Amino acid sequence: MKFSLSWLKDHLDTTASVEEIAAKLNAIGLEVEGVEDPAAKLVGFRIAKVLTAARHPDADKLQVLSVDLGDGNPLQVVCGAPNARAGLVGVLGLPGAVVPANGMELKKSAIRGVESNGMMCSTRELELGEDHDGIIELPADAPIGTAFAEYHGSDPVFDVAITPNRPDCMGVYGIARDLAAAGLGTLKPVPAKATPGSFPCPTEIRTDDPDGCPAFYGRVIRGVKNGPSPEWMQARLLSAGQRPISALVDITNYVMLAYGRPAHAYDLAKLTGAIFARRAVDGETVLALNGKEYTLDSEMTVIADDAGVHDIAGIMGGEHSGCSDTTTDVLLEVAYFNSARIGDTGRKLNLTSDARQRFERGVDPAFLDAGLDLLTALILEICGGEASEVVRAGTPPTTPKVVAYDPARSLWLGGVTIPDNTQRATLAALGFIADDAWNVTIPTWRPDVDGAADIVEEVVRIHGIDNVDSVALPRADGVARPTATPAQKLERRVRRAAAARGLNEAVTWSFLPVPEAEAFATGNGGLWVLANPISEDMKAMRPSLLPGLLSAVRRNVDRGAASLRLFELGRRYLRGDAGHSDERLTLGAVLAGEKTARGWATGKAQPFDAFDAKAEALALLAEAGAPVDNLQVMGEAGPQFHPGQSGTLRLGPKTVLARFGMLHPATLKQFDIGVPVAAVELFLEAIPGKRGAATFARSAYAPPALQSVTRDFAFLVNAALPAGDLVRTVKGADKANIVAVRLFDDFRGAGVPEGQKSLAVEVTLQPGDKSYTEADLKAIAERVTAAAAKLGAVLRG
């Protein structure tokens, strides 16, 4: 929220400097994002007097001015403003000055062949107003040659970030209240005085939706003259980033920004019959002030008349009933709307506004009469006219909350001792009322305060967080116990292992476009689709980490990356039983592009293949503590993978620890990727825990006393038999002696029967307390061949 120093001083009697105000705002929890001095934009602009004005020789709409800066050396300036004339005192931008409105740097130049030494400026060009019909006209006694910034004066603008729990500070008055409570001045009373009505209100006002609109106040003001708002009001609105429109519109915006009270003014001539709040009808439409048409439903509250909808209640008015220059009679609306309803409506329509921000956070339900009085007084003062009697339909929820409070809680919860009388004074300054028994009545403008802890927060923040002593937490003697959970240790270990293997970590969104999420959906209950997404491209919770990684691959390949090795460790989101969220820890990895670049020794560039993905999967599973020696390689990696170049790693037929392989061409086409991609997905939550891992430490490593022995075996097997099955079977033939089995040859060709292949394995044997004899080795070999025979394997001669 933005506001100027002079606007703040309308409500706060203070002599504090800009720096003191900014520091105090930060200290009490109202973060200052910046302080801007508009005068800094006016460097290079000076007050000048037009001495002569003559028609440009080659342009009918241009004049050649002789401009005096008070130094006796008039400058020649070409100007197109219709009000440029001899004797006018205005503002001249000299060469080198930057025009605030468009960032253009002024230079000495020739315009239609005539030299111009600067530019006479309008209020819009200097961002001092919206008038662009002519150049600025200053009083005749304005000091010629003086810097315009010095003449205009400095009115710094504060930019304060208001957290969602502080709706009371969505108006300048609420911020002034906080500063006054913090001792930085005296809060001025709200200048709201009731204006008696001189005639009955000619329009029926009511609320037919007491849940969505509990209270609807209004009155008619007739005989108004709409036009530009006063300069002081335009300056206030400009400091807040609002564009002045007309007096009637500016007045409602001014009251909203000053007091956090949204309101609306209707052109009475454009209304038909009664004006009332009601539920919308499904399919009903309204053309809003932003020029867009919105389709409504029966869960939304609207303001309508007998002819139809005029206003999306609490969010935005309708275009066809807004005030214009021809408006002579207005109907003022000051209502209280259900904050939850406003929020739901805004999200459904994807429509934001200043009014919605305030209503959905919570406006003061007791400020309806005061808001109507402020609006009435300003309209009568600026636009003239006479006001009708006030009509009050419904009742706002003004019953205050009362919270039992113990001032000792400032020490228990806030860590600081604050005297009781100081706490009472602080609460009173903030609008709270504490009786002798410390039953605290919460002001109606503070819907965020629910309990005693909230009151402690108010007292402590005004006292000053910087005044709370920093006290170290108590720590027992001895060695600190580890705090990382097993899951956290697993994540850390696997992340480091992936990085050590040359993979680069990526961090992608947990949200995906629905088509990309559907491409990787498991089919178990469907996707989690957000009702209020950040955008349409972030609507579905990811069922896999691979879509985000593939999007990263596409972006990098499009930018010329030749080889990519990416991984991400995070959670995927599935629909569990009874619609509950099922979050599962997963590691995804992709290998795309060139595995090895082309070279004189390697020849052509080599792409990644399914075996590279399998190697990554096995290595990372081993680091995660999975029993990789017991894993089975099976198919069914999923439709996203190439059916002949992918597989799964399982413990038994049902427990899938990983899937790996080349992605299907259709998957790559959907993600617009033109290079082959190998992918890995590890399901870390499926890895079984080690028995007794929390109780017993691993025994110390002791190298064997005797040297190991290796023996090679070559078997003829069915060509369809996975080599991993043979390796696993051979290793289990003699668990006491065989410590490792490695496949080193896969041959098909001359000497091997059709439909078969030759698999050669290296078997490592480790003797225990004595070396092997020939009989021992023969017995082991027989056990190996017997085990292999169960798979149909025959030892080659």
Binding site residues for Mg(2+), as ranges? Answer: 448, 454, 457-458
Q: Which of 328, 327, 283 is nearest to 308 (CA)?
A: 283
**Cα separation, 148 vs 276, whole angstroms:** 50
**Cα separation, 333 vs 538, whole angstroms:** 38
**Cα separation, 552 vs 543, whole angstroms:** 17
The number of beta carbons lying within 10 Å of the beta carbon of residue 533 is 16
**Going by C-beta distance under 8 Å and a sequence separation of 6 or more, which residues neighbour residue 581?**
528, 573, 574, 575
Task: Provide the annotated binding site.
Answer: 448, 454, 457-458
**Going by C-beta distance under 8 Å and a sequence separation of 6 or more, which residues neighbour residue 533?**
511, 539
Q: How many residues does the chain have?
A: 797
Residue found under tokens 């409570």: 181
Question: Which amino acid is residue 309, in one-letter code?
Answer: V
CA angle, 507 then 510 then 511, to 5° = 130
Residue found under tokens 């206030």: 236
The number of beta carbons lying within 10 Å of the beta carbon of residue 630 is 12
Q: Is residue 772 within 8 Å of 765, Cβ to Cβ?
A: yes
The residues that bridge with 400 in the sheet, in sequence order, are none
Q: What one-character DSSP code corresponds to residue 98?
A: B
DSSP codes, 296-357: --TTSEEEEESS-EEEETTTEEBGGGS--TT--EEEEEEEE--HHHHHHHHHHHT---HHHH
**Going by C-beta distance under 8 Å and a sequence separation of 6 or more, which residues neighbour residue 44?**
93, 94, 96, 97, 98, 106
Q: Is residue 316 within 8 Å of 289, Cβ to Cβ?
A: yes
